[in-house]
A and B are shown apart, each in its own frame.
Chain A
Amino acid sequence: MTFEPKIVGFLCNWCSYTGADLAGTARIKYAPNIHVIRVMCSGRVDPTFVLKALESGADGVLIAGCHPGDCHYQEGNYSALRRYHLLKKMLSDFGVEEGRVRLEWISASEGDRFAQVVNDMTAQVRALGPFHRQKAPAEQATAETASKAS
């Protein structure tokens, strides 16, 4: 059994969530690993949310908002961008691998892009393995027996 990452996605109401909705109505297939939380704006995503998600068992966190210049609240996505850059720098000091936390711009018309981002990120986080290695002894044990068996 391969490791299936859990990814928490914070999607902005106006662009990215609508984009995800479009992926759904267009019946685009994408990895079922993302657990979506709708927020009003990517600027609403407090770094606490990202840390809390990782601490609570997520293996990756996706923040998605409107493209720069398209924010429904003018400047919210720029706030998200600045927080993301600083958070990313701090997370690397914490020893959190690059790629576990991602910020992407996905507009309401980019259903295919949403699907592609989720697939990409799922593959990337799957390669990194579980975030809480110590908290998942059962999963680890199965993986070990699996690799021995092969």
Chain B
Amino acid sequence: MGKLKLALYWAASCGGCDMAILELYEKILDLAAAADILFWPVAIDVKYKDVEAFPDKHIDVCLFNGAVRTSENEHMAHLLRSKSKILVAYGACSHLGGIPALANMTNKQGVFDCVYKYTASTDNPNNVQPKTTVKVDEGTLTLPEFYDTVKTLAQTVDVDYFIPGCSPVPEQTWAVLEHIIQGKPLPPKGAVLGATQKTVCDECKLEKEEKKITKFYRPFEIIPEPKKCLLEQGIICAGPATRGGCDARCIRANMPCRGCYGPPEGVMDQGAKFLSAIASVIDAKEPEEIDRIIKQIVDPIGTFYRFSLAHSLMKRTRMAEEKAPEETKQRNTVAARR
């Protein structure tokens, strides 16, 4: 068997996943020795048309990071799927939608207005916003279409494996790459690699007792006691609803888990489980008291689905045309009159 043919791509992402590959440090040399990197936009100059010229299934393994938000992302997802034997959704965005998928709380126009109109540093008196085509003297220039809804890689094309994390822990990435390089048998398709079956709480070393919360704190509002479970101190921690494998590194740095490793094995919707876990530890029985405590949770969707909104059951907030419009009311009055 020749050298492993590897490709890496970034779609809607921040570039952190590519950094995570570089964070292999000296092992990057082992990787370069064991694998030919055919395509990696962040590091080597290979054009899309070069990838298009590859025969089908030419790439052995493709690590695809980033969510699917534009027609370009979508095109590359389809292209790399057809050119790769194994397509891996690498990192939280590609696995679950990640931070970019929080844009599913609004739509394309909402995102454009925020970026090109309302941000404090924007000076755009003519309200210029991106268009997919523009005519200039030299001809027509095009940009990819920007979609209303951010999708995960698996919602776009068939995916073989998932490596979770924002970004994936380098040790875990290396363990997976080494496993592939050595040609060891791979788990069944659809498996989550480079992570454990259990939750972050399982690998968190803090002391846990019974949880009874009457006040929630955001991380900047409190200096946590060392050694005591952060959730018990009122800091919302996603540990109970998040897959382990990161060695609880945020918690070891005194920051609560934010849930980037996604739902644990067997969990369909991470945010719902997270919500359930948080609601269960609220120490109140009266509706008014419960509401008072719940009010301290700023932005429930952004908290519970910070990395998994695209992957969730709801997938996005409802678009205006989905909600009960006036027309529905009229229709029912018409029906009732008859």
Q: Which residue of B lies closest to A80 (CB)?
A: B279
- B279-338: which have CB < 8 Å to A? 279-280, 282, 284-285, 287, 290-291, 294, 297, 299-301, 304, 312-314, 317-319, 321-325, 328-332, 334-338
Contacts of B332 in A (CB 8 A): 2-3, 126-127, 129
A72 in the interface, Cβ–Cβ < 8 Å?
A: no
Partner of A97, one of B285, B287, B290, B323: B323
Whole-angstrom CA separation of A146 from B314 in the bound complex: 31
A133 to chain B, nearest CB (A): 5
Cβ B314 vs Cβ A55 within 8 A: yes
Q: Which residue in chain A gives the minimum CB-CB distance to B332?
A: A127
Q: Are A95 and B323 in contact (CB under 8 A)?
A: yes
Nearest B residue to A129, CB-CB: B328
- List chain A residues, Cβ under 8 A from B324: 97, 127-129
Instruction: Kindly report which residue of chain B lies nearest to residue A46, judged by CB atoms.
Output: B276
CB distance from A75 to the nearest CB of B (A): 9
Q: Which of B287, B297, B318, B337 contacts A96 (CB 8 A)?
A: B318
**Which of A10-18, A19-27, A82-90, A113-121 contacts its partner?**
A82-90
SS of A interface (majority): helix
Residue among A50, A86, A96, A150 with most chain B CB within 10 A:
A86
B330 — which chain A residues lie within 8 A by C-beta? 147
B323 to chain A, nearest CB (A): 6
Inter-chain contact A85/B338, CB cutoff 8 Å: no
Contact B268 A48 (CB under 8 A): yes
Within 8 Å of chain A (Cβ to Cβ): is B166? no
CB nearest to B290 among chain A residues: A85
- In the complex the two chains form, is B279's CB within 8 Å of A146's CB? no
Please name 29 pairs of A and B residues whose Cβ atoms are closer than 8 Å in the assembled complex, sorted by A: A3-B331, A47-B275, A48-B267, A48-B269, A48-B272, A51-B313, A68-B285, A78-B285, A81-B287, A81-B290, A82-B284, A83-B276, A83-B280, A86-B294, A89-B300, A90-B275, A93-B105, A94-B301, A94-B317, A127-B332, A128-B324, A129-B325, A129-B328, A129-B331, A132-B322, A133-B323, A146-B335, A147-B330, A150-B334
Query: Which residues of A are interface residues toward B (Cβ below 8 A)?
Result: 1-3, 46-48, 50-52, 54-55, 68, 78-79, 81-83, 85-87, 89-90, 93-97, 126-129, 132-134, 143, 146-147, 150
